[in-house]
């Protein structure tokens, strides 16, 4: 078999066999297929697509390209969630302790933010001492002792994805359904959990811009999961405007803490309840969605989820004092309101623009590996559907550098549109795919 023939077959629109896909993935990881051939193949897949059968074969070849965790040794059933990313998406910080407090061990590997989209690992690093680099042994021990762990992706798991993703990033081949689905699901299969709820975001601040694409991606990932014997479902959620009010690492940790203490913004609380309840239902802890929801609401209301959060952060090396007193989180030097230039209803609040403003302030990175500033970001005071008077604050900018603050201010102003008529806000959840 030769890599060049496999590239040519995909270029000409033919489906690849399981053997061809396995040969290509193996050669990519071992280094016998050079980056220029992998890049050409990725572009051919991007342009010609893949059948479901090819996508399943690709996912499995990627999942088994490295170590595959066996969590059965530490817990009979483990759960996981995965968000396809967005702006203000601090959901793991709330959902993980909720489900763990209900007796469902959650074992999660998370990523860092890139471009407008934030990452859970960056957020958690705002907490002094929190370790994101657990070894596989430490990861398993924490699941067994505390029923909750959130660490960075280890290099041993699905190395084919790391290789492909780095090349996709620089060859304009990220937004491809089979490549995204295989990238996400290969890591999830290698991480060894039994139950997975996918939080597929759609809209201006998400990878998927249309509901149709989001549904297709969700269905594809649910099908792949079912094929390998996992219980998987997907929640399709809006990401046209940021989720909650806070955007930026320490600011989002604070909002998660507020939420666990019963003071979260309504949209964010509702989103966390829906996803957590879906995990509880899918794991078989509840009879139906209604019972799952009431269990989740109770865990939040009675403080069980908050207690689990503190236990988790401390077990993973984080300073308990910081989460008990969020004023000890990194703080930005400047706090400046952005005033509304006119009165009216907010009709648009572009999540991607808010995410890019956060990157300008230093909360995110343009290129992998760049350092970030955990203290900076944005806290919204108005969202779509709210009325604002002229000169009333739309949001507060948290910055450490005045020139970046000015640049972010301009970008943020462009994120808003106003209307005379009251618009209806976008729905929070579009559909749950099971
Ligand atoms: N998240 C991933 O892990 N992979 C993709 O390809 C896109 C989003």
CATH number at residue 401: 3.90.1170.30
**Is 428 contained in some domain?**
no
In whole angstroms, give the CA distance from residue 399 to residue 361.
6
Residue 295 and residue 186 share a domain = yes
User: Tokens in use for 172?
Assistant: 């304009």
Residue 158 CA, distance from chain mean position: 18
Mutate to test the pocket of ligand 1, among 59, 114, 184 (most ligand atoms within 8 A of CB): 184
Q: Judge if 320 and 351 occupy the same domain.
A: no
Q: Answer yes or no: do 295 and 402 share one domain.
A: no
DSSP code of residue 32: S
For 3, 4, 45, 180, the CA distances from 39, given in Å and listed in that order, are 12, 12, 10, 15
Question: What pLDDT shows up at residue 155?
Answer: 84
User: What is the pLDDT at residue 331?
Assistant: 98
Q: What is the CA(211)–ligand 1 centre distance, in A? A: 18
* Domain finish residue from 270, 298, 324: 324
Choose the final residue of a domain: 271, 304, 324.
324
pLDDT for res 361: 98
What string of pLDDT tens digits covers the 434 residues of the chain? Answer: 999 999 999 999 999 999 999 999 999 999 999 999 999 999 999 999 999 999 999 999 999 999 999 999 999 999 999 999 899 999 999 999 999 999 999 999 998 887 888 899 999 999 999 999 999 999 999 999 999 999 998 888 999 999 998 899 889 998 899 999 999 999 999 999 999 999 999 999 998 999 999 999 999 999 999 999 999 999 999 999 999 999 999 999 999 999 999 999 999 999 999 999 999 999 999 999 999 999 999 999 999 999 999 999 999 999 999 999 999 999 999 999 999 999 999 999 999 999 999 999 999 988 878 899 999 999 999 999 999 999 999 999 999 999 999 999 999 999 999 999 999 989 999 999 99
Residue 4's Cβ-side half-sphere holds a number of Cα atoms within 13 Å equal to 0
Residue 74, domain member (yes or no): no
Residues serving a catalytic function are 82, 161, 168, 183, 187
Give backbone dihedrals phi and psi of 362, rounded to 5 degrees, phi first.
110, 5
Helical segments of 49-135, H only: 52-63, 92-101, 120-124
Q: Is residue 66 part of a domain?
A: no
CATH of the domain at 42: 1.20.970.10
Same structural domain for residues 352 and 294?
Answer: no
Residue 420 sits at φ, ψ, to 5 deg, of -75, -35
Domain count for the chain, please give it.
3
Nearest 5°: phi and psi at 380? -75, 145
The CA-based dihedral angle spanning residues 184, 105, 200, 369, taken in that order and rounded to the nearest 10 degrees: -50
The atom number, within ligand 1, closest to the CA of 165 reads 6
Residue 314 lies in a domain: yes
- CATH code for position 209: 3.40.1030.10
Residue 372 lies inside a defined structural domain of this protein: yes
Cα of 182 to ligand 1 centre, how many Å?
A: 8
Q: Which of 307, 324, 341 is the last residue of a domain?
A: 324
Ligand 1: distance of its center to the CA of 137 in Å?
25
Pocket of ligand 1 from Cβ distances under 6 Å: 84, 174, 179-180, 183-184, 207
Co-location of 312 and 336 in the same domain: no
Residues 126 and 197 in one domain: yes
Judgement on whether residues 158 and 291 belong to the same structural domain of the protein = yes
Residue 301 sits in the same domain as residue 337: no
Query: Ligand 1 mean position to 74 CA, how many Å?
Result: 28
Residues 344 and 309 both lie in one domain? no
Pocket probe mutation, ligand 1, options 180, 190, 205, max atoms within 8 Å of Cβ: 180
What pLDDT, on the 0 to 100 scale, is given for residue 153? Answer: 86
Q: Is 180 domain-assigned?
A: yes
Same domain? For 293 and 357 the reply is: no
* Same domain as 408, residue 361: yes
pLDDT value of residue 292 = 98
| pLDDT for the residue numbered 243 | 98
Same domain, 133 and 269: yes
Containing domain of residue 360, as a range? 332-419
Measured by CA distance, the residue closest to atom 3 of ligand 1 is 184
Burial 395-425 (b: 16+ CB within 10 A, else e): bbbbbbbeebbeebbebbeebbebeeeeeeb
Query: Please, where are the H alpha helices in 153-263?
Result: 159-170, 177-191, 211-227, 249-260
380 within some domain: yes
């Amino acid at each position: 078999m030769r890599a060049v023939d496999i590239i040519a077959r995909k270029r000409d629109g033919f489906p690849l066999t399981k053997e061809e896909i396995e040969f290509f993935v193996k050669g990519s990881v071992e280094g016998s297929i050079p980056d220029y051939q992998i890049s050409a193949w990725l572009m051919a897949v991007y342009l010609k697509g893949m059948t479901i059968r090819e996508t399943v074969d690709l996912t499995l070849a990627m999942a088994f390209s490295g170590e595959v965790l066996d969590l059965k040794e530490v817990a009979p059933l483990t759960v996981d969630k995965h968000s396809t990313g967005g702006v203000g998406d601090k959901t793991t910080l709330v959902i993980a302790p909720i489900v763990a407090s209900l007796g469902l061990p959650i074992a999660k590997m998370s990523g860092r933010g890139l471009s407008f989209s934030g990452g859970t690992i960056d957020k958690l690093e705002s907490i002094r001492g929190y370790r994101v680099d657990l070894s596989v042994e430490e990861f398993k021990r924490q699941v067994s002792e505390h029923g909750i762990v959130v660490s960075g992706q280890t290099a041993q798991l699905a190395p084919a994805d790391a290789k492909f993703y780095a090349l996709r990033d620089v060859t304009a081949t990220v937004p491809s359904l089979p490549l995204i689905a295989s990238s996400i699901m290969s890591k999830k299969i290698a991480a060894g959990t039994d139950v997975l709820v996918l939080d597929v975001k759609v809209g201006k601040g998400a990878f998927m811009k249309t509901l149709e694409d989001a549904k297709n991606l969700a269905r594809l990932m649910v099908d792949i999961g079912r094929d390998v014997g996992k219980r998987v479902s997907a929640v399709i959620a809006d990401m046209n405007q940021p989720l909650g009010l806070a955007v930026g690492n320490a600011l989002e940790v604070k909002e998660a803490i507020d939420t666990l203490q019963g003071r979260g913004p309504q949209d964010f609380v509702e989103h966390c309840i829906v996803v957590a309840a879906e995990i509880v239902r899918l794991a078989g802890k509840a009879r139906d969605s209604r019972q799952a929801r009431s269990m989740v609401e109770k865990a939040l209301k009675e403080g069980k989820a908050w207690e689990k959060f503190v236990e988790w952060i401390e077990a993973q090396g984080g300073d308990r004092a910081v989460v008990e007193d969020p004023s000890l989180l990194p703080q930005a030097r400047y706090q400046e309101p952005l005033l509304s230039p006119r009165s009216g209803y907010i009709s648009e609040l572009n999540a991607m623009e808010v995410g890019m403003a956060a990157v300008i302030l230093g909360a995110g990175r343009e290129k992998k590996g760049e350092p970030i500033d955990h203290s900076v970001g944005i806290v919204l005071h108005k969202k779509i559907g709210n009325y604002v008077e002229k000169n009333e604050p739309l949001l507060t900018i948290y910055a450490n550098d005045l020139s970046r603050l000015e640049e972010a201010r301009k970008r943020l102003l462009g994120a808003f549109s106003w209307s005379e008529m009251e618009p209806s806000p976008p729905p929070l959840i579009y559909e749950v795919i099971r």
